Structure formats: structure tokens, C-alpha cells
Amino acid sequence: MAEYEYEYDQEYMGQEDEWEREGLLDPAWERQQRKTFTAWCNSHLRKAGTQIEEIAEDFRNGLKLMLLLEVISGERLPKPDRGKLRFHQIANVNKALDFIASKGVKLVSIGAEEIVDGNTKMTLGMIWTIILRFAIQDISVEESSSKEGLLLWCQRKTAPYKNVNVQNFHTSWKDGLAFCALIHRHRPELIPNYHELRKDDPIGNLNLAFEIAEKYLDIPKMLDAEDIVNTARPDEKAIMTYVSCYYHAFSGLQKAETAANRICKVLRVNQENERLMEEYERLASDLLEWIRKTIPWLENRTRDNTLPGTQHKLEEFRDYRRKHKPPKLEDKSKLEIIFNTLQTKLRLSNRPAYMPSEGKMVADIANAWKKLEFAEKGFEEWLLAELRRLERLDHLARKFKHKSDIHEEWTEGKEVMLQDTDFKNCNLYELKALRKKHEAFESDLAAHQDRVEQIAAIAQELNDLEYWDVVTINARCQRICDQWDRLGALTQKRRNALDEAEKILERVDQYHLEFAKRAAPFNNWMDGAKEDLVDMFIVHTMDEIQGLIDAHEAFKMTLPEADKEFNAIMMCITEVQRIVQQLDLKGVTINPYTNITGEELKQKWQDVNNLVPQRDSVLQQEMVRQQNHERLRRQFAQKANSVGPWIEKQAEAIATIGMQMQGTLEDALLKLKNMEAQIMAYKPNMDELETYNQAIQESLVFENKHTQYTMETLRVGWEQLLTSIARTINEVENQILTREAKGIPEEKLQEFRASFSHFDKKRTLALEPESFRQCLLSMGYHFNPGREGDAEFAHILGVVDPNGSGYVTFQAFLDFMTRETTDSDTAEQVMQSFKILAGDKPYITQEELRRELPPDQAEYCIARMTHYTGPDGIPGALDYISFATALYGESDL
């Protein structure tokens, strides 16, 4: 006995194998199958002018079985044996089974002997395999075939009917509404009152569908309404057989469904692209608006001329750096990712490249970001310079007050003294003394000229640096200068008066004169020394403070000589006192040549000697402060010299993975994501550097010779690293998308990447036009000589660089090298699909769109299609031709 196996729907057989074996033994199911299969066979045998009455008996001799196969296949079988003996019948059945096997069918445990013996179970199984092979197997809906395809077709066709829910081929059909819905969907005029059908009248619904199908669709009645309703689970094979007749009866309308599928696919792609465009436009607008508002703040140079106010601005700037800028940097990176992904999807779907709104190109955003960073750098430099300026101003203002106080103390009473006419009432000796005293004053006056010039210079510098209380400074300086001019004029006037009386002045006390001559400069020296010893200073480096310490040490070296001078001057007083005591002189104890007394000199000399150790202490304290500054510099430098090379190494590693990746794209993507995690985990090091940098700025440390890295360069490197890892991950994901969409083998992708990397000499992940041309030549691309070849290359360059950026990315190179492998929809195909839905009319109606397309995509088309203006149009007609053209001619509808 010959046995065959039939593999027709493995998934269906695997899922329901258990209940199917039991079902074949169920009398109710067997009865339904016998009736349905008999009707199905007769629907084909009547074309040959015959039919069967009992399926198990009438196929026993094999003659009608062979005839059935010839009718449904349209092919001729071998000539049957006409004898009536058993072996003749077996031979005929085997010819039929061999023909079935030749069509790729494997019959399991079904032999010719069982069919000849009238085995009902085997006969029904054989007919079921024939139905599957010739009526169901070729059904295909959206890449699903056989049972799944037929079920999906039923679901699609009954989807608009709320009271129908087709989930299987047994219980979903018991109320009869699914059969009526299929008929109404394709031939609504056959059941005009469909909305009046009730779910609680299943027998009426089933008989209505069976009668209409038999009368108008030439589908014989294969099922019995009562059997279906009274059976808990109707026979699935019987239902599938009968439903497949509906599918073939309506197969003429399949073109419309195919056209609808194509339109749905195109519209889904377009809707996603529009969503990405809208998101890009929104993010770009928000980012550009933020930059537009932020730059004026960074460019604002309004001063309040106070250290607290400027330090507050510096804190606001640090807050901007830490809190406000990082989210915007993420938005900028997201914009680039959206733009690259959108361009890739547009290329893959045969759409034109996306051109953002004016002023919102990626280059425009990059330029705006550069302006922001330029303004940011300028603002920080201005703030630090302003801090230095205000510190300098505060120092100069205190120095001006100190010197002015000393000068005004010295000039107090000088005008009254110079205007005195005491020389008219003194004798010759007293007159000579007055003259010598005046000469000493002139010497003192000349010595103070330098101090006045210093005061004027400090006032001028305060004016140049725009000191906030410059009005008071200028007023005081003007008073000092005016007084100084009056002192000069009065001094000259008194000298002239004394010169006139000089003829009567002859004798002078040499000791007093010697004292006056030596005491005045020594007194000025001590004044200058005291002023220097208490002078305020500002330094920024250890070298500068060491210079002050060295200068102080040099000053201390001059003290022994000054001590000798002091003793010599005091010796003059001692000699005067000795002569006075020795000669008992009267009226000569007061030195007529100077107001400087021995006690005053002694006190000033003591003050100088006391100020020297105080100056030592101040300088040593400043040395400690500068040593702390040096510690801050070294602390920052140590961390920066670690972070800087790390950032550079990571950036180089990212570039290497981008163009010299080993293994698959998925391996590279995994490496990049691991690197991204490592980079984000490294951020505490940048935060630590920010803390060091803040301490340095707060200590007003401006230079660091221990490292080449500044906080600004490290910030820029960090931000570029974040942008680079995000961009590279996006590029690899786009390459994976391209590879999957175009079916590029991994070896071919590696070959493209190796060629591209070879000509990417600068490692910028992009080729200049000439390098791109050499790369194409190396890949075997041929250009015609002369202008014709140049024009051909210019055309190619316009394809791979539509925005005219001046370089070709690897993604664009990959798209060009694989441009012939994509099966893309075209505007003409979409237009033809709409034409099928419209029934060959040049326009389409809203009702047709809603009937053939899913609700959301139907409304999408209705909202965007323009009204049809042709002479043969009807009210509400829509122009699908211009809509299809717009889909592929413009990215933005």
C-alpha cells in the first residue's frame, strides 16, 4: 500500500494537531465535513457535467477523483484504467495520489487501499489536503499565507463592523454575522439592511448568507445552519473550506486591497518622517531662542564697580555653566541625531533630503553654538579682568589716601609759616638763621615734589581704571596740587625777601647749620623709609613676593650706615648743648635753621627700627599665602594632567572605532555604548576639577605654569567628547539601519569601510571631493575622460552631498555604493495604487478612502488632499495625483 505525507501548513498542524485528531472521530464534525467537502467537490465537478452523492463511495474507483483533480488544476492526468476490478480501482487512485504528490503534497497514512475500501476518515483527510493545496495554500495577505493569510483577510474585511470579531474558524462564525459582513463589505447592495441583523438570530443570519452566496456569488451551500449553531465548536475545516470560496469569489477585488496596503506603507513612512521633522523644528527653535536670549546676557559688560557685585556675577556664570548649559548641550546632540536619522530614513524610502526651515540648519545651529561659546569665553575673561581691575582700584584708592594723608600732614601750617614777616623784627644773626632755615625748607619742599607727583599719578590711574568715587579723588588731588603751587609761589616770595636782608646777616651757628643740613635729608629718608615699611603691596606669584623680601633685605643692609649718620647728626645737638652749658649762652638753644628737633629724629629712628621686624612678619605672611596658591596650582595641574590625556585618548578611541572597527556593526555599537557608560562614569573627575578651579579663582590665582590645560580647554574637550560619542553611536545605528534595509553582507560593509578609511587621511570621518573621487576609482568606478567625466562626478557629488557641505560622510558613501539594492516605492506606484482604489477614476472620494484604508490613514489623506478641479469631478472629489506627487517631490507637505 502506497503511503504519502503532506506538509501544507506546519504551524497550523503543530498548534491544533491534538484536537484535530480527536475531531476526525467526532460524529458531528465528520458530518459537517462530509457535507461541506461534498458540496465543494460538486462545485467543481459540475463544470465537467457530473457530481457525487456519497463522498466515501463515489471516489472509490478513482475515476471521479481524477476528474476532480483535472478540473481544479486545469491539467491532464494519465489515462485511467476502465476495468472494474479492485486492482484497477487502486491503480486509478494511485494515479490521483501521485498527481497530488507532484504538487508538493505529502499525504500521511493515506493509501489507495483505504480510499478504495471507502474509509470515510481517510477520504475526508485526502479531500482536505486537496482543498488546502488548491483553494487555501496560495492565499497570501501581508506576508501571511494559508490559514493565517485567510484569517487575516477575514479580519481586515470585517474590521469596520463593530458586532463582528473574527479570531478563529469555528466559534467566531456561529452567529452568522461574519458571513454577512463579508458579503456586505464587497457587495453591500445584496444585504442593504445589514444594520438590522441581530446577534441573537444566528440561524436566520447563516441562512441569509448561505442563500445570497449560492444565488448571487455562485458559492454552493456547503454548511448547515442548525449544525453550526447546535455544535459547541463547529468543524474548522468545513468553515475554512466554505470561507475560502468567499475569498476566491471576491479575489477580483484583491487589487484594491493590495493598493491600499501599499498606500498604508507609504503613509506610515511619511507620518513618521513628518513627526521627526516637527520634533527637529521644535528643538531647533527652542535651542536657537535660548541661545538668542543667552548671548546678550553674556555680552553685557555693565559694571557696578564693586568687588561683591562682580563676584556675584561670577557665581551666576558658574551656575549657568553647571545647570543651564548641560541640558542645552544634550538638546544640540539630540538635534544632530534626529537630523541624521531623518536623512537616513528619507534616503531609504526614496524621498528627497530634508531641508530645515531657514536659519535652522545643523550648520546654523553649530554657528549659533560657536557664537554662544565665544561670548561665554569673552564673558568669563571679562569677569576675571574686572576682578583684577577692582582689586587694583581698591589698592590704589587706599594708597592714594595714605600718601595724601602724609602729604597734608606735612603741608599743614606751611602757608602760614611762609607768609610770616618775623624776619623784620630779628637781628642779623636771627635773620641769617631764618635764611638758612628757609633754605632747609626749600630742600624739604623739593624732596616732597616726588610725593606730590606720585599722588597725581595714582589719581590719574584711578581715573583711567574708572574708579567709582573718582570725583572725590579728583577733588582732593586738585586741592593738593593747588596748595603745592601756592607753596612754591610763597616759598619763592619769602626767599626774595630774605635775599634782600642778606646783607645784614653774617654770622651763623655752624653746628645748627650742620644739623639742619644733615637732619633734613635724613629726616626725609626716614619718612620715606617709614612710608616704604608700611607701604601696601599686591603680588600674584612667589617670585614677586621673593623680590619684595630681597628688596627688604637690601634695605636692612643699609641700616648700619644710617645709624652712623644718625649718630653724626645727634652729635651736632650734643655739641650745641655742650657750648651752651660751657658758655652759659641765652637764645641760641633753639636751632634757627630747622624745625626738626633731636627728639623728633630720635623718635623717627626708633619708629624705623620698630617697623623693620613688622615688615618682616607681613612679608612672611604673604609668602605663606603665595605658597598656598602654589599648592592650589599644583593640585589643579596634577588632576588636569590626568583628565586631559584621558579625554584625548577616549576621543581617539571613538574615532578609531568609527572608521577601523573590528567585527560586526553590533559589536562596534556595543563597544561605543560601553565607552559612553565609561565616559559618564568619569564625570566626577570633571566635577572635581571644577571644584579646584573655583578655589583657584576665589583665591585670585590667574596663571599656572605646571600644566598646559586650562579649565576652558578641558570643558571644551569634555563637551566635544560627549558630542562625539553620541554622533558616532548614531552613525553606527544608521549603518545598521542601512545594512538591514538593503541587505548588505558584513564582508561588503567592511570592504566599503576599509576603502573609505584609506582615503580619510585627516581622520575626520568625511572625505573631501577629490578624496571621494579617488575612493570611487579604487572601488572600480569608471569616469569618462574630460568634461564628460567631470560632469558625471559633479552629478554624483550632488547626490551624496545634497546640502553642499563640501564633504562626503561615510553614511552617504554607503548609500551611494548600495543604491541599486533597495526596492523603494515611487510616486508613480503610489499614484497607480490610488487609481485602483478609485476605480480608474482621476479622483477619489472620502467614502472610498474610509472604506479601503485604516481610519487614521484615511483621515490623514483626506486632511491633505486638495479638491479635484477636473471637468468630470463630483462634489467632494479629491485629487490623489497631486497628493502622490507631493509625497515624493517635497518633504514638507
pLDDT at 20: 42
Residue 215 lies in a domain: yes
Taking residues 5-29, report their average pLDDT: 44
Neighbours of 301 (CB within 10 A): 10
pLDDT band at residue 230 under the 50/70/90 scheme = confident
Question: Of 795 and 18, which is predicted with more confidence?
Answer: 795
Q: DSSP 3-state assignment of 822?
A: coil
pLDDT at 748: 74
What the block records as the C-alpha cell of 837 is 482604489
pLDDT at 677: 92
Question: Of 430 and 392, which is predicted with more confidence?
Answer: 392
- Of 265-279, 386-400, 436-450, 494-508, the range with the lowest mean pLDDT is 494-508
Is pLDDT above 60 for 587? no
Question: Of 1 and 243, which is predicted with more confidence?
Answer: 243
What span, in angstroms and rounded, lies between the C-alpha atoms of 434 and 441?
10
pLDDT digits (tens, 9 = 90+) for 248-257: 888 755 666 6
pLDDT band at residue 296 under the 50/70/90 scheme = very high
Residue 539 lies in a domain: no
pLDDT digits (tens, 9 = 90+) for 50-89: 888 888 788 888 888 888 888 888 888 888 887 778 888 7
767, 770, 771, 772, 809 from 806: Cα distances, Å: 9, 10, 12, 11, 10
Is pLDDT above 50 for 9? no
Q: Which residues contact 427 (CB under 8 A, 6 or more apart)?
A: none
pLDDT digits (tens, 9 = 90+) for 699-755: 777 788 888 888 888 889 999 888 888 988 888 888 788 777 777 777 777 777 777
Task: Return the residue matching grid coordinates 482604489.
Answer: 837
pLDDT band at residue 503 under the 50/70/90 scheme = low
Residue 236 lies in a domain: yes
Number of domains the chain contains = 2
What span, in angstroms and rounded, lies between the C-alpha atoms of 336 and 723?
9
Residue 579 lies in a domain: no
Question: Of 199 and 3, which is predicted with more confidence?
Answer: 199
- Of 279-288, 440-449, 675-684, 777-786, the range with the lowest mean pLDDT is 777-786
Is pLDDT above 80 for 782? no
pLDDT digits (tens, 9 = 90+) for 543-562: 887 888 888 888 889 889 88
pLDDT at 507: 41
pLDDT at 140: 64
pLDDT at 12: 37
Residue 186 lies in a domain: yes
Residue 179 lies in a domain: yes
Taking residues 658-667, report their average pLDDT: 72
Average pLDDT of every residue of the chain = 81
What the block records as the C-alpha cell of 119 is 474509509
pLDDT at 544: 80
pLDDT at 40: 86
Helices 177-186 and 146-158, interaxial angle, to 10°? Answer: 70
What the block records as the C-alpha cell of 300 is 553685557
Taking residues 362-367, report their average pLDDT: 89
Question: Of 649 and 110, which is predicted with more confidence?
Answer: 649
Q: Which of 8-12, 146-150, 277-281, 421-425 has the highest mean pLDDT?
A: 277-281
For residue 232, the number of C-alpha atoms closer than 13 Å in the C-beta half-sphere is 2
Neighbours of 620 (CB within 10 A): 12
Taking residues 338-359, report their average pLDDT: 86
Is pLDDT above 80 for 537? no
State how beta strands 866-867 and 808-809 pair: unpaired
Domain end point (choices 216, 250, 265): 265
Is pLDDT above 80 for 407? yes
What span, in angstroms and rounded, lies between the C-alpha atoms of 822 and 800?
16
Nearest to 580 by CA among 512, 626, 628, 495: 512
Domain end point (choices 239, 265, 291): 265
Q: DSSP 3-state assignment of 619?
A: helix
* Domain of residue 199, CATH code: 1.10.418.10
Neighbours of 509 (CB within 10 A): 20
Whether the CB-CB separation of 566 and 601 falls below 8 Å is answered with yes
Is pLDDT above 60 for 133? yes
Q: How is the chain split among helix, strand and coil, in percent rounded to 5?
A: 75, 0, 25
Task: Return the residue matching grid coordinates 486509478.
Answer: 92
Q: Is the pTM of this model over 0.85?
A: no
CA 828 from chain centre, in angstroms, equals: 37
Is pLDDT above 80 for 892? no
Q: Cα-flanking dihedrals φ and ψ of residue 4, to 5°?
A: -130, 155
What span, in angstroms and rounded, lies between the C-alpha atoms of 172 and 178?
8
Taking residues 877-885, report their average pLDDT: 89
pLDDT digits (tens, 9 = 90+) for 427-451: 557 767 778 888 888 888 888 888 8
- Of 97-111, 226-240, 471-485, the range with the lowest mean pLDDT is 97-111
Q: Which of 623-627, 784-788, 865-869 has the highest mean pLDDT?
A: 865-869
What span, in angstroms and rounded, lies between the C-alpha atoms of 747 and 754?
11
Whether the CB-CB separation of 199 and 163 falls below 8 Å is answered with yes
CA 121 from chain centre, in angstroms, equals: 68
Q: To 10 degrees, the CA torsion angle through 342, 347, 348, 350?
A: 120
* Domain of residue 846, CATH code: 1.10.238.10
Domain end point (choices 265, 298, 322): 265
Which ranges of 82-160 does DSSP label H, i.e. alpha helix? 86-102, 112-116, 120-131, 146-158
Length of the chain: 893
pLDDT at 614: 87
pLDDT band at residue 481 under the 50/70/90 scheme = very high
pLDDT at 474: 92
Nearest to 258 by CA among 178, 136, 153, 135: 153
Task: Return the residue matching grid coordinates 497628493.
Answer: 883
The whole domain housing 224 covers: 27-265
pLDDT band at residue 374 under the 50/70/90 scheme = very high
**Cα distance between the two ends of the chain:** 69
Residue 715 lies in a domain: no
Taking residues 613-620, report their average pLDDT: 86
Question: Of 652 and 508, which is predicted with more confidence?
Answer: 652
pLDDT at 497: 76
pLDDT band at residue 801 under the 50/70/90 scheme = confident
Residue 56 lies in a domain: yes
pLDDT at 824: 53
Question: Of 228 and 106, which is predicted with more confidence?
Answer: 228
DSSP code, position 868 = P
